Amino acid sequence: MTWTIAEVARMSKITTRALRHYDAIGLLPPAGVGPGGVRLYEREQLMCLQRVLLLRELGLGLDVIASVLDEQDERGTEAVLARHRDWLLNESERLARLATTVQRTLDSMTGGTEMQPEELFEGFDPAEYEAEVNERWPEQAAEARRRTAGWTPEDFKEAGRKQAEFARRFAGLARDGVAADDPRTQAAVAAHYTGVCQFWTPNAAAYKGLGEMYVADERFRQNYDKHRPGTAQYLRDAIVVYADANLD
C-alpha cells in the first residue's frame, strides 16, 4: 500500500514542504513517484518518518538525526525504538510527578495543607536528566564520564560557572549588535568549543547539532535567553559559522 505526500502530511501533521525538504537532504526519500511526479510513500517510509519526528521531539537537528538513523539501521531499529519508548515513559512519569507537585503547591498557597519542605522538590530528580543524556547521546555521555572521572564537585561547579559566563558573554554580543561571523563573536565561540571539548569532541555536524539543540530544547534555550531574548539563536548561528570554517 502506498500513500501520497499529501496523505502523509495529513497523517503526520507536518507540511508537504517539510517532507520535500527531508527528501532533498536525503533524510526521507519516498518509495517512488506516481503520475504527475507525486511522491509516494510505503510503510517503511512512514516508520522512518516516525523516527525522524521522535528525534525532533528530543531536540535534535536534522544533520544529527541523519547520523542517528544510520546508527539505528546498524544496531537494529526495534532495539533503538524500545530505548526511546522507555525514555518517553520515564519522562511522562516524571512530568506527572512535577505537575502533582505544582498543583499541591498551588493548593497550599490558597488555604490548603502546608507542604513539608522536602515535598516541594518531588519530581526534581537529576538522575532523570542523566537517563535522558544517555538516551540521546550514549557515546558522548560515555566519553564525558570517562573524561570527568577524576573531577571533584568543585570542578563541576566551575564548569557550570563558565557556562553561565558564556551565556552572559553571548547575550552581550547579541545586545551590542555584533554579527555572528564577527571576529569577536567567533573568538567567543572558539572558547565555547574548547569548553565543550572538556567533555567530548564534536565534529562540525555534531557541534552544529548542539547549537540547534540550544534553540530547539526549551530548557537550554531558557538558560541562554534569560540573559537576553534571542541569545540561543544567536549562539546557534555563530556556531554554524565556526563549524563550517574550523571543523571537519
Classify domain 3-75 at the CATH class level: mainly alpha
Closest CA to 168 of 233, 238, 228: 228
Domain pair 3-75 / 138-248, same fold: no
Alpha helices by DSSP H, the chain: 5-12, 16-24, 43-57, 62-75, 77-109, 126-136, 138-147, 153-175, 183-196, 204-216, 218-225, 231-246
Question: What is the pLDDT, as a whole number, of residue 62?
Answer: 78
Q: Which strands form 3-4's sheet, in the order they lie side by side?
A: 3-4, 39-41, 32-33
Question: What is the pLDDT, as a whole number, of residue 123?
Answer: 46
Per-residue pLDDT of the chain (248 residues), as tens digits, is: 899 999 999 999 889 999 999 999 999 999 999 999 999 999 889 988 888 887 776 666 777 778 777 766 555 566 666 766 766 676 666 667 666 666 666 666 666 555 554 444 444 444 444 555 556 667 777 777 788 878 777 777 788 788 888 889 999 999 999 999 999 999 999 999 998 888 888 889 888 988 888 888 777 788 888 889 999 999 999 999 999 999 98
- Residue 179's contacts (CB-CB under 8 Å, 6 or more residues apart) are 185
Q: Domains of the chain: which residue ranges?
A: 3-75, 79-136, 138-248
**Whole-structure pTM value:** 0.50
| Pairing assessment for the beta strands 32-33 and 39-41 based on DSSP bridges | antiparallel
Question: What is the pLDDT, as a whole number, of residue 244?
Answer: 94
The Cα–Cα gap between 68 and 63 comes to 9
Question: What is the pLDDT, as a whole number, of residue 218?
Answer: 77
Question: What is the pLDDT, as a whole number, of residue 120?
Answer: 44
Can you read off the three cell numbers belonging to residue 112? Answer: 490548603
Classify domain 138-248 at the CATH class level: mainly alpha
Question: What is the pLDDT, as a whole number, of residue 107?
Answer: 64
